[in-house]
Homo-oligomer: A and B are copies of this chain.
Amino acid sequence: MSRPERLIDENGRRVDGRRADELRPIRMEVGVLDKSDGSAYVEFGGTKVIAAVFGPREAHPRHLALPDRAILNCRYHMTSFSVEERKPLGMTRREIELSKVIREALETVAFLEEFPRAAIDVYVEVVQADGGTRTAGLTAASLALADAGIPMADLIAGVAVGKVDGQLVLDLCDLEDKYGEADMPVAMAPRFNSIVMLQLNGRMTVEEFKRGLALAKKGIDEIYRLQREALKKKFSKISPEEV
């Protein structure tokens, strides 16, 4: 994967033909796995992630249990073949950091107080990485939590905004992430108009940063709509007799 001469052409089109504020084709499906309590598959262009949730279950070892709420564990992990160069087995430092920021985003909306002494496990598996894996992963994880029936104050939707050839763009792909000037993953709880994940890789002016947040918000509103649709689709599949 080498750097194209230009990341945005004379018509304002990006390497994959998108406009600056355009999301990639998004696919979401809830309940894709059988043996977890909740699961979801999310695709943002070439980025493909699966998330699964187990619990609430008894927390063990016992001394980790909290008297007033559930603990939420989270692992963000990539398959070895999800990236250009084979990722070594085991957790990289990057995966450990992203597990932390994803967990901290999810804790924000899940009603953990409803399950004292319990644990909830969230697993995000990146099957293919083409930019924005942590935001796609978080988007999938929040669907999986909903699928598992964990009560939540809101869904979480996330997307990366970036700066590419001096221009702000929405939903970076891998090429833009690698050769662009900045990558800023943003996730929000739309109902609260609040940020639940925010990181920056690169540099932006203050003005770009502020516009970037607004651009992210635009994408997030659309993703949020798709999430609710995907959930509806899942639950409409369940016939009345089953309920």
Chain A residues at the B interface, C-beta cutoff of 8 Å: 60-63
Q: Which residues of chain B are within 8 angstroms of A61 by Cβ–Cβ distance?
A: 61, 63
Q: A60, B60: Cβ atoms under 8 Å?
A: no
In the complex, how many angstroms separate the beta carbon of A65 from the nearest chain B beta carbon? 13
Report how many copies the assembly holds: 3
Chain A to chain B: the 4 pairs with minimum beta-carbon distance, closest first: A60-B63, A61-B63, A61-B61, A62-B63
A104 to B144, CA, bound (A): 37
Ordered by A's residue number, 4 sampled pairs between the chains whose C-beta atoms are within 8 Å are A60-B63, A61-B61, A61-B63, A62-B63
Q: Which residues of chain B are within 8 angstroms of A60 by Cβ–Cβ distance?
A: 63
A60 to B60, CA, bound (A): 15
A164 to B91, CA, bound (A): 43
In the complex, how many angstroms separate the beta carbon of A144 from the nearest chain B beta carbon? 27
A62 to B63, CA, bound (A): 10
In the complex, how many angstroms separate the beta carbon of A147 from the nearest chain B beta carbon? 29
A61 to B62, CA, bound (A): 10
